[in-house]
Amino acid sequence: MSQENIIEQDPASSGRKTTTNKKSSDRRIAASQANGKLSTGPKTGQGRQKCAEAAAAQIKHGMLAQTVILNGESKSEFTAILRGFIAHYNPISAPEYAVIYKMVVAYWRQLRTWSFQQTDFHLEMARQEPDLPLPLQAALAARALNGKTPSDGYESAYDRQFTRALKDFKFLKAQRDPASGIDSTPLSFTGSTWEQKDDH
């Protein structure tokens, strides 16, 4: 434990000052104890239930979806992905839910970027000679699009966001009570963010 030097006056030494060692102050000890007791999420069944109910209410009312999806995109697909991530990672605290939301949003935006890339390719292929073989049309379209679309940069950015959020979740999970396990549930997957005709 750290020690600090204090100056005391020795009454038997005609006013001379002497230096003695003293343990860390009570304030430092109290601060250390407080830091050791920082909350890492609800530990009781009741606390976890309240946290889960709050998250379920947010999903039900589409609070996150309203800030993420674009007009024409599928709210039901987004919600299904969100529920799948929550079922898989089983967050138990507000910070854990927050990083799960980051993961889902990054993943959704990456899906959107893939859709943009496909649309750009289709548009550019439509500009090619229709009699050319499709592989050649695609090659010419790729050459024409090279460096002209920011979608590749977006894809990398969203991938980094997802990776950082996953790292944050693993850190938060490590702070849990060791008795708290995580059940594995298969994740849902969608190939497009856009709403289908029968998706209402």
Question: Do residues 66 and 150 share a domain?
Answer: yes
Instruction: Tell me how many degrees the CA angle 191-159-139 measures, rounded to the nearest 5.
Output: 60
Closest CA to 69 of 117, 113, 105: 105
Q: Identify any residues that bridge with 5 across adjacent strands, giving them in sequence order.
A: 21
DSSP state of 196: P
In the predicted model, what is the mean pLDDT of the chain? 73
Q: 96 and 152, same structural domain?
A: yes
Asked if residue 162 and residue 123 are part of one domain, the reply reads yes
Look at residue 5 and give its three-state secondary structure: strand
Q: Which two tokens stand for residue 61?
A: 């009312």
Same domain, 101 and 194: yes
Query: Looking at the 3D structure of the chain, how many domains does it have?
Result: 2
User: Do 25 and 119 belong to one domain?
Assistant: no
Same domain for 4 and 67, yes or no, is no
Q: Is 72:63 a contact under the CB 8 Å cutoff?
A: no
The pLDDT > 90 percentage for the chain reads 28
pLDDT band at 183; cut points 50, 70, 90: very low
Of residues 53, 93, 88, 52, the one with CA closest to residue 176: 93
pLDDT in tens, 99-116: 999 999 999 999 999 998
Domain ranges, residue 8: 1-38
DSSP labels, 133-195? -HHHHHHHHHHHHTTT-THHHHHHHHHHHHHHHHHHHHHHHHTS-TT------PPP--S-SBP
Task: Tell me the pLDDT band of 117, cut-offs 50, 70 and 90.
Answer: confident
d(CA 192, CA 74): 9
> Are 83 and 182 contained in the same domain?
yes
The per-residue pLDDT for 116 is: 87
At residue 16, the pLDDT reads 52
Looking at the predicted structure, is the pLDDT value of residue 62 above 90?
no
Q: What's the Cα-to-Cα distance from 77 to each of 43, 73, 84, 127, 131, rounded to whole Å? A: 32, 8, 11, 32, 38
